[in-house]
């Protein structure tokens, strides 16, 4: 399952694979690029992902994009 987020204006997704969370940047053309320099702790559950991404990427917050939001 792929969980999509708007991370301070940047489309990203998280996928659970073999007990690990994998983070991806999403493009407007549906291309997905893996983010290797951010490790999401495997013990986090789905409900904690938005808060974790907000903590990691908080310096990207702006007036236009003040939060991390779940995208359906």
Output the 3-class SS for the chain.
CEEEEEECCEEEEEEEECCEEEEEEECCCCCEEEEEEEEECCCCCHHHHHHHHHHHHHHHCCCCCCCEEEEC
CA distance 60 to 20: 25
pTM for this entry: 0.92
Q: Give the residue-averaged pLDDT of 53-65.
A: 97
pLDDT digits (tens, 9 = 90+) for 2-53: 999 999 999 999 999 999 999 999 998 889 999 999 999 999 999 999 999 9
């Amino acid at each position: 399952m792929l969980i999509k987020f708007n991370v301070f204006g940047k489309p990203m997704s998280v996928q659970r694979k073999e007990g690990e969370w994998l983070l991806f940047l999403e493009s407007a053309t549906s291309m997905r690029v893996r983010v290797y320099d951010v490790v999401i702790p495997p013990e986090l559950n789905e409900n904690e992902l938005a808060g974790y991404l907000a903590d990691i990427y908080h310096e990207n917050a702006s007036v236009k994009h003040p939060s991390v939001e779940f995208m359906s």
